[in-house]
Structure 1
Amino acid sequence: MSKGRFGKFGGQFISETLMPTIQELEESYNHFSQNEDFNRELTDLFNNYAGRPSLLYFAENMTRDLKGAKIYFKREDLNHTGAHKINNVLGQVLLAEKIGKTRIIAETGAGQHGVATATACALLNMECVIFMGEHDIKRQALNVYRMKLLGADVISVTSGTGTLKDAVNETMKEWSTRMDDTHYAIGSAMGPHPFPTLVRDFQSVISREIKEQILDTEGRLPDVVLACLGGGSNAIGSFYHFIDDKEVRLIGCEGAGHGVDQPNTAAALQAGRTGIYHGMKTIIAQNKDGQVNPVYSISAGLDYPGVGPEHAYLADIKRAEYVGINDEEAVQAFEYFSRTEGIIPAIESSHAIAQAIKMAPEMDKNQIMVVTLSGRGDKDCAAIARYRGEEIYD
Structure 2
Amino acid sequence: MQNTFEHALPDAQGYFGEYGGSFIPPQLESIMIEIAAAYEECRKDPAFRTELARLYKHFVGRPSPIFHAENLSAKYGADIYLKREDLNHTGAHKINHCLGEALLAKKMGKKKLIAETGAGQHGVALATAAALVGLECDIYMGEVDIQKEHPNVVRMRILGANVIPATHGRKTLKEAVDSAFEAYMKDPVSQIYAIGSVVGPHPFPMMVRDFQSIIGNEAKEQFKEMTGGLPDNLVACVGGGSNAMGLFTAFLEDDEVAIHGAEPAGRSLNVEGEHAATLTLGEPGIMHGFKSYMLKDKDGEPQEVHSVASGLDYPSVGPQHSYLKDAGRVNYGTVSDDEAIDAFFELSRLEGIIPAIESSHAVAYALKLAKQGEKGSILLNLSGRGDKDIDFVVEHYGKDYGIESLI
Instruction: Please state if 1:317 is matched with 2:327.
Output: yes
Distance 1:180 1:286 in 2: 32
Tell me which of 344, 350, 356 is aligned to 1:346.
Answer: 356
Tell me which of 40, 52, 64 is aligned to 2:50.
Answer: 40
Instruction: Please state if 1:135 is matched with 2:144.
Output: yes
2:291 corresponds to which letter in structure 1? K
Tell me which of 384, 389, 397 is aligned to 1:375.
Answer: 384
Distance 2:279 2:57 in 1: 35
Match of 1:153 in 2: 162
Distance 2:180 2:214 in 1: 27
Q: How many residue pairs align between the two structures?
A: 392
Match of 1:186 in 2: 195
Q: CA deviation at 1:216?
A: 0.8
Match of 1:212 in 2: 221
Tell me which of 212, 228, 234 is aligned to 1:203.
Answer: 212
Q: After superposing the two structures, state which structure 1 stretch, 170-179 or 303-312, moved more.
A: 170-179
Q: CA deviation at 1:389?
A: 5.5
Q: CA deviation at 1:195?
A: 0.3
Is the 1:253–1:324 Cα contact (8 Å) retained in structure 2?
yes
Q: CA deviation at 1:51?
A: 0.5
Tell me which of 33, 37, 40 is aligned to 1:27.
Answer: 37
Match of 1:249 in 2: 258
Instruction: Please state if 1:299 is matched with 2:309.
Output: yes
Q: CA deviation at 1:383?
A: 1.1
Is the 2:267–2:337 Cα contact (8 Å) retained in structure 1?
yes
Tell me which of 62, 66, 71 is aligned to 1:52.
Answer: 62
1:121-132 equivalences under 5 Å are: 121-132=130-141
1:30 corresponds to which letter in structure 2? E
The 1:275–1:364 alpha-carbon spacing in structure 2 relative to 1, beyond 3 Å, is closer
The 1:45–1:393 alpha-carbon spacing in structure 2 relative to 1, beyond 3 Å, is farther
Is the 1:382–1:392 Cα contact (8 Å) retained in structure 2?
no
- Deviation sequence 1:69-103 (CA, Å, 0-9, x none): 21110000000000000001000001111111121
The 1:393–1:312 alpha-carbon spacing in structure 2 relative to 1, beyond 3 Å, is farther
Q: CA deviation at 1:256?
A: 1.0
- Deviation sequence 1:104-131 (CA, Å, 0-9, x none): 1110000000000000111111101100
Distance 1:189 1:364 in 2: 29
Is the 1:260–1:270 Cα contact (8 Å) retained in structure 2?
no
Instruction: Please state if 1:162 is matched with 2:171.
Output: yes
Distance 2:76 2:336 in 1: 21
Distance 2:140 2:68 in 1: 37
Tell me which of 285, 288, 292 is aligned to 2:295.
Answer: 285
Q: CA deviation at 1:393?
A: 6.9
Is the 1:259–1:325 Cα contact (8 Å) retained in structure 2?
no
Is the 2:230–2:257 Cα contact (8 Å) retained in structure 1?
yes
Q: CA deviation at 1:287?
A: 2.2
Distance 1:327 1:26 in 2: 38
Q: CA deviation at 1:292?
A: 1.2
Distance 2:313 2:382 in 1: 18
- Deviation sequence 1:271-295 (CA, Å, 0-9, x none): 1111001000000010243111100
Q: CA deviation at 1:261?
A: 2.1
Q: Which runs of 5+ in 2 are unaligned?
A: 1-9
Q: CA deviation at 1:259?
A: 2.3
Instruction: Please state if 1:92 is matched with 2:86.
Output: no
Q: Which runs of 5+ in 1 are unaligned?
A: none
Q: After superposing the two structures, state which structure 1 stretch, 155-164 or 382-391, moved more.
A: 382-391
Distance 2:102 2:113 in 1: 7
Distance 1:204 1:11 in 2: 21
Match of 1:172 in 2: 181
C-alpha RMSD of the superposition: 1.2
Distance 2:106 2:210 in 1: 18
Instruction: Please state if 1:327 is matched with 2:337.
Output: yes
Between the aligned residues of both structures, percent identity stands at 49
